[in-house]
Chains A and B, each alone.
Chain A
Amino acid sequence: MTEILTKRECNALSAFKYGVSLYSYTEDLGTVMSLEDAFDHVAGTGSTGIEILGETSIPTYPEPTSAWLDNWFALLDRYQLEPTNMAAWVDTRITIGRNMSAQEGTAQIAQDLRLAHRLGFKFLRPKFGVIDGDLTPDPIWEPAVERNLDLAQQLDIVILPEIHSPTPIRHPVTDAYIAFIERTGTKNFGLMIDTGIFQDRPLNKWGGGETDEIRKGALSFLNGIKVPVEHLVDVIKYVPFIQAKFHHIDETLHDHHIPWDRIVPMLKKLGYAGYLSSEYEGARDPWVSIEQVRRQHALIRKLEAEYDAAHGGNLHA
């Protein structure tokens, strides 16, 4: 309980909201870590938010059992965490020879919106299948989302595709999402920034499922696409949620790939007050993720405090 009180005090003083995606604990979950263990680790960082992957965390996705739901709400209450984003997938190339229709994509998103709402989430990130190396989403994304805007509004959920390496901010994929927001005038669709786009040094171990073929054939992705943090200015008004992707932070709190010392001041300058939801994607040795996530929270909180101190104290207290 002491830790929970401390956590509340911390967040009263900060502009960012801190959370953790259970993606961080990939490979540990299901082998050496239970869902309740994960809640304990997330709460132990001082976070207020927890992000899940629907089909990963719910053992009978898309239909949780009543026992699972009871446990879910009990854990949220016990660890004083709020559901933030639920990650979902629109598996467009659903069989080798057939792509999903727009109707099927619509049904997939509707199903996940209802599930996310049932569990208390405010954001849904559908990951669409792509048609090229620039990660251009399958064209069904647009009708599938548009047909769900009324439902998303009813359920008070914002649908967020992610801007994820190797797709930068200034790119036709991002432009198409923004054009959609402007055309429809919707408040229920926005952009999720994955901080992996700012990676500016090469990865020596990618925890997202590295294979020999990816190591040889995806060099730009593994080396980092180095999006300038200044490009956030272009899109920040569409960004209510950020996945704080990272791969390795050493014992001096130095991140080897992601330039937090430039990202944090830029987000502060732009007045970002949403979640930074940790997405650890480094070495997948057992339990390494727990300590890595804690280091990231220590690092970002330190940079945020330094920014506040340099700009007339804490403006958000």
Chain B
Amino acid sequence: MLERSHIQSTGFHNIGPVGARTGFEVRIRQPNYRSSRLSLIEGVDLVIDGVEYPAEQSRIRVGDREYTHAEMAEETVARLYVGTFFTVIVPKEGGLAPGVHHVASSIRFRHPYFPPQFQPVFVRDARHATIILP
């Protein structure tokens, strides 16, 4: 089973060739009480050590499939299920330094049954997480 925090310890790592990293990934538990069509997630914004990584620049991987921000917005069939996670793929030349980082996430959930002024709501989490390999 997954950690209670939205941001998961496992899955936080650099991507791309060793010595020429192209970015990093963060694994996030689907924190809503029901599964969500991908189109109801208006984006996942990250802040790592105070540096913002807005949703529009990232990709999301659900299972084996990757989505751009624009593709997510139109995906009305595929779902994020309760008890599962998705991965935010962030481009960043060189990746993140090995060690402990402060990671904050904000998921923009659109609940159509919420009053319009609360569409979307921002579901937030923050914790320390560790990059092991440079």
Chain A residues at the B interface, C-beta cutoff of 8 Å: 23, 26-27, 29-32, 53, 55-56, 59-61, 87, 89-96, 127-133, 135, 138, 208-209, 211-214, 217-218, 286
Contact = CB atoms under 8 A, between A and B. Distances in A.
Chain A's interface: helix, strand, loop or mixed, by majority? loop
B116 A31 contact: no
Interface of B: 1-4, 29-35, 37, 39-40, 42, 73-74, 76, 79, 81-84, 110, 112-119, 121-124
Nearest to B3: A31
Contacts of A23: 33
13 contacts: A30-B84, A31-B83, A53-B34, A55-B81, A61-B79, A87-B34, A89-B34, A91-B37, A91-B40, A130-B116, A133-B116, A133-B117, A211-B122
Contacts of A209: 32-33, 121, 123
Given A30-B2, A31-B29, A55 B79 contact: yes
Contacts of A138: 112
B112 A91 contact: yes
B64 to A, nearest CB: 15
Contacts of B39: 94-96
A31 B76 contact: no
Nearest to A87: B34
Contacts of B82: 29-30, 56
Contacts of B114: 130
Contacts of A31: 1-4, 29, 83
A191 B39 CA distance: 29
